[in-house]
Structure 1
Amino acid sequence: MSDNKLWEGSTPFKEKSHLFKYRNWLADNRNIYFNSYEEIWQWSVDNIGDFWESLWDYFNIIAHSPYKSVLETTTMPDFKWFDGARLNYSEHIFRHAQLEQSAIIFGNEQGDYSELSWKDLKKKVASMATYLKSIGVTKGDCVVAFLPNVPEATISFLAVNAIGAIWSSTSPDFGTESVIDRFAQIKPKVFITVDGYFYNGKPHDKTTVANNIASALPTLEKVIVLPYLKKEDVSGFPKDFIDIHTIFKTDGGELVFEPVDFNHPIWVLYSSGTTGLPKAIVHSHGGILLEHLKYMAFHNDVHKGEHYFWYTTTGWMMWNFLQSALLMGATIVLYDGSPTYPDFYKLWAFSENVKINHFGTSAPFLVASMKNKIAPKNNCNLSSIRSISSTGAPLPYEAFEYVYKNIKSDVWLCSMAGGTDVCTAFVGGTPFYAVYPSEIQCRALGVSLYAYNDDGQPVVDDLGEMVIDKPMPSMPIYFWNDPNKERYKASYFEHFPGKWRHGDFIKINSKTNGLVIYGRSDATLNRHGIRIGTSEIYRSINKIDTIEDSLIVNLELEGGNHYMPLFVKMKPTYKLTDTVKNQINGLLKKEYSPRHVPDEIIEVTDIPYTISGKKMEAPVKKILLKMPIEKSINIDSMKNPESIDFFLQFAKQI
């Protein structure tokens, strides 16, 4: 943590924010007065029922029946929010429809570009909704999609949602078994698929994969195909499919919204499934609606007419999160393809062309840009961007400084962290606070989050487990096929009974109220009794230009012994030499401690990642501890499965 302030919003910036307006609204409508963000946060977690009810009123939620109570019990995971209320998420999207203005802007690495007006979006959603109802899809049925991040995915989701059905999606870079492992659990009635996609300038035909997935889902009654790779050619699919464009050409009539219970499922997301069958995580219609309104307004400060972008695929929860910018009347910006093809300036040039106001990406993308020494501010006009959001992994100190030196000096950098589990961020940005290197600005409103030590006591200015001790509306209502909530309880509530342990290792700064995340706690390096966050290791290694990527684990061996190997991927044309090893060890000892120095440094050709872009530290650790491969890792969950071969062989030497 540092006193080096990188940015702070001006008085006009703060006074134009949704959070400033909400603070005034609380004073006018609740007779509650606050002088700082921390005061608002403290009130929101001390009075969670009052806080969430205030959002219901502030955002003027459209309810088709009233709620009996805001929150029946605060006991987790047995809570129930806004019991009795009936509403529809899509209805809240379309109350912002602005006829001829753009609802969606789309681009891809092939150079395709299109805009979809609110009028045309509503028309196509109505056509899809009418078609789905005509083939018997009703409230509570599941519709699944194997699609890239294209407008057709958003249209299909909004249509599914409008009729009260349940949405679930994966991106076409998932392997066949990985998709089946996910979709088969929820017994879908309709499968919407693409014929292929482009990535890094290469076509990837997915016709055979899509047919195999459909064949493995016996509950399917219809397959809808988007001809994206081959445009008009869909000859590789069975005769009983329907082209999605045929649906869009039909007149769907008036778009009708089916009211559902507040706690009715909105979608099913999935854990990464790195060591077994992915958990099918079910979120509620109303919980997501309230949570995303809160986050988009108060933590991202998204305004009507702004262009909101996040680089994501349909297989990452950030795609679901991105759709919610429409709740604010903003235009969502979609991009399909590699973020670095043909070069690292691609997304920044795209941002200039479409005038993005809020630019969302992953921490690894910013780190990779930093290590490749690109300076977008010198090549692109980024004057439209007023915030850059980052998630997916801890953003290191140097990457914060890199953004302000090489991308934009007067931008609001909103690092955030949450997860698929809640489809939002527990911690993130606030227009009321300054930005400091490596720190996430605040705990989000309504999130009663603390750092717990091993004794289960909250601590500040010290490392601890991220724990949430009160319910949030966007916590899962259940896992699919988990009737007694046994898997649900085991996933979050066993370590600290009745409290949500998220699995991140954090420190809260008592001076700034910001937070630093040190990595996943299940990957924490317990070095002779001293806990070390993996992000500390990576922060030092990121300073070495010749290293492209790295991964570290600590193995607790028999007899109280430890073995902490560091695996590094060198940049092309560079090799791991004694000089580089000495540089690594010297930096770690100088910047941290001798305990941070690895026992061995090993060069690898690649670092294992999940499809959603997370380093696979825990699975690698299990492999090196010689646990059975089927209990260590799920190959289908990997972005680069060939990378694990080295670790399987290396384990034999330990």
Structure 2
Amino acid sequence: MPEALWHPSQTAIESSQMNALMQRVNERYALSLEHYSELHEWSVANLERFWSLFWDEANIIAEAKGETILEHPDDMPGARWLPQARLNMTANLLWRCDEHPALILYDHRLNRYQISYAELYSQVARAAHSLLQGGVEPGDRVVGMTPTSEHAVIGLLATASIGAIWCSCPLDLHTEPLIEWLNEIEPKVLFASDGQSPGNETHTAWSQLLSICEHVESLNQMVLFSRSGSEPDTHGIAKAVAWIDYLNNPAEELSFAPHPFDHPYRLECLTDSTGINRTLIHSAGGTLLQHLKEQRLHHDLQQRDRLFAYTPCGSMTWHWQLSALASGASLVLFDSFEDGTTSSARHAVWDIVANEGVTVLAIEACQLIEWEEAKLHPCHERDLSPLRLLLATGPYSADSFDYVYRNIKKELHFATLSADSAAGASLALGCPMRPVHRGEIQGRGLGMAVEVFDDAGHPLRGEPGELVCTRPFPSMPTGYWGDPQGEQFVRAFFERFPGTWSQGTQAEITPQDGVILHSQP
């Protein structure tokens, strides 16, 4: 067995939300579960009971839950979660409306500002009002071409409050494939910065925005803001309106339209060297339920936490962070990911962690490796005592674990993840009831029938194979945009092992029930 580098205290285990759920399971079903492996086994064998119980424990805000939890449970794809439920994503993320910080923001020049939950609610209400005045209806598409700033958060929450569909677009796409994709999804409104500012330089995107305005016929309005803080350049763009003018209306209240559990929440661009080759549809209910399970049960997220996800806007991790508003936590955002490999940006991340008392830091796969190669020693220079949890996507060597505990913090829950962007979930992730073993993810996700298969579709233990999920899970995308019969969707995720979700991730399940991640597509 590999060395255990960190152990949760008994007090932390007993006070965790995961332990509280396990005790509720024991009480309701007259069981005596004691260990995570037993809870995971029960959650997979009793999918409907597990997800129904978690819905209740998470206090999901909904007009209705319904009696049916899982329709067509043996169909993959084809199963349908909570078909009678009616909810609104934004209602669940903006239940809090006080002066507690919702967003703590740093721009690329490290200027700091913050937005309270009350102010966030107010700005979302005004943005939603303008969207409705502009003819946006449930199911319409709204696109964000934004850096990591409050504009994307407000735009998405306003869009979701109506039941329209948010679509984040990578900032580095060339104009021609971008326009082709926009004409496929036919957005009514586009939120965008009038320029990109890596480091301290401002590079205008005005010509690209002008081309979009001229060649995307469905677009009614383009809402622009300036990353430099000045007035946005709207000259010559007939459909453009400045952000400050867009929010200049008297709206004070939000109307949260309830929609089905599987109502589309966002579109995810899957890109290759030529541009966007596929667009996945993620549901509101599935996203909310899966994210809250991961945040509250696996990572014990609470209102007092400050969560900093150092990630580009629109990534899986960015959307995952946004869902933490449902727990009343404070989100820290840094508009410098595009320049994150520079020495100044690397140090800035840790300065922000220390200055803001960040308790949970989430990073992308590349970041830890870059810090390690740069011989960065965050703990030698800063007070990181509030930091309790480091989340990191992607495969890591055992040496990377040593780096974390030697150079970041010794008493730290380092939770690596097999984050599957297409699945909208981490198939393997952290566990507050288990130790961290060198080189391993702590365990498979609750309510996720995760296995490792050989080429013939047989389960493996202790040797590498393909990481799969053999039963339905709520965050499974509902399909590809423009694929009404689902043929491309089935071919992408269910053709290799019929009836089983797979995406080419290579991993192995260890004797102590951890997971070693070898590679991800």
| TM bracket, shorter-chain basis | over 0.9
Q: How far 1:275 moved relative to its partner?
A: 6.4
Change (3 A) 1:233 1:88: closer
1:297 maps to what in 2?
296
2:19 maps to what in 1?
20
Q: How far 1:181 moved relative to its partner?
A: 4.3
Task: Find out whether 1:384 has 2:386 as its counterpart.
Answer: yes
SS at match of 1:199: coil
- Can you list the C-alpha shifts for 1:277-316, whole angstroms capped at 9, x where unaligned? 4211001111111111101101121111310111111242
SS at match of 1:474: coil
SS at match of 1:212: helix
Q: How far 1:96 moved relative to its partner?
A: 3.0
Change (3 A) 1:305 1:247: farther
SS at match of 1:319: helix
Q: How far, CA to CA, are the matches of 1:64 and 1:93 in structure 2?
A: 15
Task: Find out whether 1:187 has 2:189 as its counterpart.
Answer: no
- Can you list the C-alpha shifts for 1:597-654, whole angstroms capped at 9, x where unaligned? xxxxxxxxxxxxxxxxxxxxxxxxxxxxxxxxxxxxxxxxxxxxxxxxxxxxxxxxxx
Q: How far, CA to CA, are the matches of 2:314 and 2:184 in structure 1?
A: 16
1:11 maps to what in 2?
10
Q: How far, CA to CA, are the matches of 1:471 and 1:479 in structure 2?
A: 17
Task: Find out whether 1:358 has 2:357 as its counterpart.
Answer: no
2:84 maps to what in 1?
84
Q: How far, CA to CA, are the matches of 1:11 and 1:107 in structure 2?
A: 37
Q: How far 1:424 moved relative to its partner?
A: 2.2
Q: How far, CA to CA, are the matches of 1:267 and 1:111 in structure 2?
A: 30
Q: How far, CA to CA, are the matches of 1:285 and 1:117 in structure 2?
A: 24
1:586 maps to what in 2?
none
Kept in 2, the 8 Å contact 1:320–1:423? The answer is no
2:464 maps to what in 1?
463
Q: How far, CA to CA, are the matches of 1:390 and 1:499 in structure 2?
A: 26
Kept in 2, the 8 Å contact 1:182–1:280? The answer is no
SS at match of 2:231: coil
Kept in 2, the 8 Å contact 1:146–1:171? The answer is yes
Q: How far, CA to CA, are the matches of 1:335 and 1:174 in structure 2?
A: 21
Q: How far 1:502 moved relative to its partner?
A: 2.0
2:415 maps to what in 1?
414
Kept in 2, the 8 Å contact 1:85–1:262? The answer is yes
- Can you list the C-alpha shifts for 1:145-204, whole angstroms capped at 9, x where unaligned? 100010111011001001111101124233323433443321111111111122133322
2:61 maps to what in 1?
62
Kept in 2, the 8 Å contact 1:195–1:230? The answer is no
One-letter amino acid matched to 1:224: V
Change (3 A) 1:274 1:263: same
Q: How far 1:16 moved relative to its partner?
A: 2.4
Q: How far 1:475 moved relative to its partner?
A: 0.3
Q: How far 1:240 moved relative to its partner?
A: 3.5
- Can you list the C-alpha shifts for 1:211-258, whole angstroms capped at 9, x where unaligned? 223333211111111122362142445143211112223221211101
Q: How far, CA to CA, are the matches of 1:369 and 1:190 in structure 2?
A: 39
Kept in 1, the 8 Å contact 2:91–2:256? The answer is yes
1:499 maps to what in 2?
500
Q: How far 1:321 moved relative to its partner?
A: 1.0
1:50 maps to what in 2?
49
2:215 maps to what in 1?
216
Change (3 A) 1:466 1:227: same
Kept in 1, the 8 Å contact 2:70–2:83? The answer is yes
Q: How far, CA to CA, are the matches of 1:123 and 1:254 in structure 2?
A: 7
Change (3 A) 1:345 1:277: closer
SS at match of 1:414: strand
1:442 maps to what in 2?
443
One-letter amino acid matched to 2:516: V
Higher mean displacement: 156-165 or 297-306: 297-306
Kept in 1, the 8 Å contact 2:234–2:240? The answer is no
One-letter amino acid matched to 2:372: M
2:72 maps to what in 1?
73
Q: How far, CA to CA, are the matches of 2:410 and 2:454 in structure 1?
A: 37
SS at match of 2:311: coil
SS at match of 1:496: coil
Kept in 2, the 8 Å contact 1:195–1:229? The answer is no
**TM alignment of 1:340-351, pairs within 5 A:** 340-343=341-344, 344-351=346-353
Q: How far 1:328 moved relative to its partner?
A: 0.9
Change (3 A) 1:216 1:400: farther
**In terms of Rg, which structure is larger?**
1
Kept in 1, the 8 Å contact 2:234–2:242? The answer is no
Q: How far, CA to CA, are the matches of 2:297 and 2:320 in structure 1?
A: 15
- Can you list the C-alpha shifts for 1:58-111, whole angstroms capped at 9, x where unaligned? 1122221342411111211111111121101111112233x1110000002312
Change (3 A) 1:472 1:59: same
SS at match of 1:224: strand
Q: How far, CA to CA, are the matches of 2:293 and 2:310 in structure 1?
A: 21
Change (3 A) 1:33 1:51: same
- Can you list the C-alpha shifts for 1:327-350, whole angstroms capped at 9, x where unaligned? 111011111112344533220011
> TM-score if structure 1 supplies the norm length?
0.77
Q: How far, CA to CA, are the matches of 2:279 and 2:60 in structure 1?
A: 28
2:484 maps to what in 1?
483
Q: How far 1:276 moved relative to its partner?
A: 6.8
Change (3 A) 1:208 1:353: same
Q: How far, CA to CA, are the matches of 1:386 and 1:241 in structure 2?
A: 44
Q: How far, CA to CA, are the matches of 1:419 and 1:180 in structure 2?
A: 27
SS at match of 1:279: strand
SS at match of 2:63: coil
SS at match of 2:207: helix
SS at match of 1:91: helix
2:518 maps to what in 1?
518
Kept in 1, the 8 Å contact 2:507–2:515? The answer is yes
Kept in 2, the 8 Å contact 1:148–1:336? The answer is yes
Q: How far, CA to CA, are the matches of 1:176 and 1:13 in structure 2?
A: 51
Q: How far 1:127 moved relative to its partner?
A: 0.3
Kept in 2, the 8 Å contact 1:89–1:161? The answer is yes
2:93 maps to what in 1?
93
The size of the alignment, in residue pairs, is: 517
SS at match of 1:202: coil
Kept in 2, the 8 Å contact 1:448–1:470? The answer is yes
SS at match of 1:69: coil
2:154 maps to what in 1?
155
- Can you list the C-alpha shifts for 1:546-580, whole angstroms capped at 9, x where unaligned? xxxxxxxxxxxxxxxxxxxxxxxxxxxxxxxxxxx
Q: Select the structure with the greater relative contact order (CA < 8 A; seq sep ≥ 6).
A: 2
Kept in 2, the 8 Å contact 1:194–1:210? The answer is no
SS at match of 1:503: strand
Q: How far, CA to CA, are the matches of 2:56 and 2:234 in structure 1?
A: 52
SS at match of 1:278: strand
Kept in 1, the 8 Å contact 2:224–2:234? The answer is no
Higher mean displacement: 419-428 or 475-484: 419-428
Q: How far 1:421 moved relative to its partner?
A: 0.8
SS at match of 1:415: strand
4+ residue segments displaced more than 4 Å: 274-277
Q: How far, CA to CA, are the matches of 1:241 and 1:325 in structure 2?
A: 32
Task: Find out whether 1:394 has 2:395 as its counterpart.
Answer: yes
Task: Find out whether 1:146 has 2:145 as its counterpart.
Answer: yes
